[in-house]
Structure 1
């Protein structure tokens, strides 16, 4: 009797562990499905005023969820869900790097929307080049353990630049193996690092070994604020533009 009870208890424990694992244990897959539709009046404010104009613009998001065995099973039979692998999702980047890139894309989308809206409204504005935004680091780079995705390089050898093209021209005029000192910002803190230039496989010229884009900021007399803490990526630029322009 005692043996039967022990076997029964063990089976129940195994079933409980299996159910818990299927519900909570993450697997290397993600699920994409339509997210919420949010009125842009809740996400964008211009000069601190409420949007009281007739009609409204909305943003439709895409929800991304970490997969579990149970979620994958549900998604398999949901025509509105798509299962994607971790490799497809991150493209070889870490989750932290991916989130940094999504944050950059959203900021870039906002800046472009502000620029277009101000231009359409014939309002003055100014673009400031803040440095070179690091999007990827070549594993062969001497800076692989010194820079991180999301850093902004602001100086090389004490020299500042007006664009990423100026930055690349300066570095590529040096020789492979030359040592450079860079200054970069990470989470608002200033840092320095030195390293040797490598040969870039794309053009056989000298380089730090990073993929980069311009890190810019836009300023104007109009106070335009975004409240999109849980939304990332390059989308919504057109809708942001319309919402801002409508309030100017």
Structure 2
């Protein structure tokens, strides 16, 4: 009798041969990413660094299926993104990926609690379940007392903490963060970095963060730098810019 083989869990996200070009002013094509290969496993914390305009955010959008590559493929949890229709892709993205942007993109007419509830409601949860989950996450990020406040009544750091809670609403296996502390002061930045790693570690998710922050990159288990459209290993103790 043949011994049972242990089935290897899929990567949180995998990219193969990613190319992304954009139209240039002269009518040609501007190559931004040139054949990116990348694997991020559950529990990984990866920082991607590089100068402004090097393609860091472009890569993050491709990994999160917010954009389509010119060539190459992305797999989210073992599912090949290019094979998915619009409805299935939106479902996978909402369930599998949590996004934290530099500009938090909270819905200004919704309270903090309602903003965090939204991904759960979209995923089909009951209002009661979504409310309980949102309240739990807001408590974890230290904003239980601010749950009924709309974004305009929250500080920049508080708004970004709401955005982190929203990103974790569906307990996604993958969290993508694009300059999450880029508009915060030093104290709020430190608190947010602590929070991001604590929550991701506590939820067992993989983290990919695009950053100019040396401090944030230094806390990642792996640092890659975009150079000339390709990824290269970057020392953790070097400046991220």
Scaled to the shorter chain, the TM-score interval is under 0.3
Larger Rg: 1
State TM-score, norm by structure 1. Answer: 0.26
